[in-house]
Amino acid sequence: LLPILVHTFLYRARTPTSLPSFLLVGPSGSGKTSLLTVFENGSPAPTHLSQTPSTVQVQLPPSTKADSQKYRSEHDPTAKQRPKFLIIDTPGHGKLRNHAFEQLRKPQPHLKGIIFVVDSASLSSDTPGRSAAGLTEAAQYLHDILLLLQKRYTGAKSSKGPPELPVLIAANKLDLFTALPAQLVKSALEAEITRIRTTRAKGLLDSAVKDETLEEEREWLGDGGEGKFEFGQMEEVNVPIKVVGGNVIGADGSDISGWWEWIGEQL
Ligand code: GDP
């Protein structure tokens, strides 16, 4: 029994479950592992392919203020405390994405937000009229996560619905000259999600004709699924979305100040 108790104690000590947490998601190669090491140590380290979720404890830098501390006086000793939080990394590889979906299906009282990392240099296509593979992959993953968050709201038992769950789309690799600026990352993802939604709605309609039981499953993303999808539509299901640019690696070092700021706003 003793070893079990010691193990439990050590495990608890290492991963304090009451800290606010953020889920880190995104396609593989977008920069999640690099970002995690910058969050943790302040500089990127060589990355390895992650197969399972890993959690690290992070502290807000002195330059970023948490929302909860903004109005505290300089003399309040708690105003100088840098809030701690957890970042839960998930594998971005297609077959391993279940880890991320699992995390979102469980009730998460301490989850403060989701950080979706995208490689902004992988989104523009060389062929007119055809989406870049990187854009399609990122948009599909994002679509599935947003649909899950929407279902969390529409399937909620209480009339108030679940608490707000903000999403940061971290438009990464802005140091590369082929990268789209954050505003274009936003419109490219919205347009691609619109396309995915239309395709899937058609697929569902076709199968619903054959199988009445699929009727219940007919839920699509945002505003009844017609017309153009915009991130703003997710506010109706308590999911505010922001797209903020940055870079984890680069000739002039990393610039992730916009992401720190967003994290501070959620704490
Ligand atoms: P993950 O699969 O999402 O964990 O992505 P990684 O963190 O392994 O990064 C994938 C590749 O992109 C690595 O070669 C990183 O060095 C590179 N990378 C990550 N962030 C940046 C960035 O901001 N700028 C540039 N130029 N490369 C980056």
| pTM (whole model) above 0.95 | no
Cα–Cα dist 126/247, whole Å? 23
pLDDT at 95: 65
pLDDT digits (tens, 9 = 90+) for 69-112: 777 666 776 666 788 999 988 876 666 677 777 778 777 889 99
Work out the average pLDDT over 181-191: 97
- Residue linked to tokens 């505010």: 240
Structure tokens at 3: 């070893």
pLDDT digits (tens, 9 = 90+) for 165-185: 999 999 999 999 999 999 999
Most confident residue range from 67-76, 124-133, 154-163: 124-133
| Main-chain dihedrals φ then ψ at residue 180, nearest 5 degrees | -80, 140
Question: Could you tell me whether strands 111-119 and 84-89 are parallel, antiparallel, or unpaired per DSSP bridges?
Answer: unpaired
Residues 6+ apart with CB under 8 A from 36: 24, 54, 56, 87, 89
Please give the C-alpha separations between residue 232 and each of 87, 161, 237, 242, 260, in angstroms, as whole numbers: 25, 18, 10, 9, 22
Determine whether the shortest distance from the Cβ of 30 to ligand 1 is under 6 A: yes
Determine whether the shortest distance from the Cβ of 121 to ligand 1 is under 6 A: no
Please give the C-alpha separations between residue 53 and each of 35, 81, 142, 159, 240, in angstroms, as whole numbers: 14, 28, 18, 33, 25
pLDDT digits (tens, 9 = 90+) for 18-77: 899 999 999 999 999 899 888 887 655 555 545 555 788 888 888 888 888 777 666 776
Question: Of 249, 252, 255, 259, which is best to mutate to test ligand 1, by the most ligand atoms within 8 angstroms of its C-beta?
Answer: 249
Residue 241 pLDDT greater than 90, yes or no: yes
| Main-chain dihedrals φ then ψ at residue 112, nearest 5 degrees | -100, -15
Name the percent of the chain lying above pLDDT 90. 43
Determine whether the shortest distance from the Cβ of 96 to ligand 1 is under 6 A: no
Q: Helix or strand or coil: residue 241? A: strand
| Main-chain dihedrals φ then ψ at residue 21, nearest 5 degrees | -135, 160
Looking at every residue in the chain, the average pLDDT score rounds to 82
What fold characterizes domain 19-45+52-67+78-119+139-194+231-266? Answer: Rossmann fold (3.40.50)
Positive or negative, the CA dihedral 179, 183, 187, 192 is: positive
Instruction: Please give the full DSSP string across 50-61, using - where no structure is assigned.
Output: --S-EEEEEE--
- Closest residue by Cα to atom 10, ligand 1, is 29
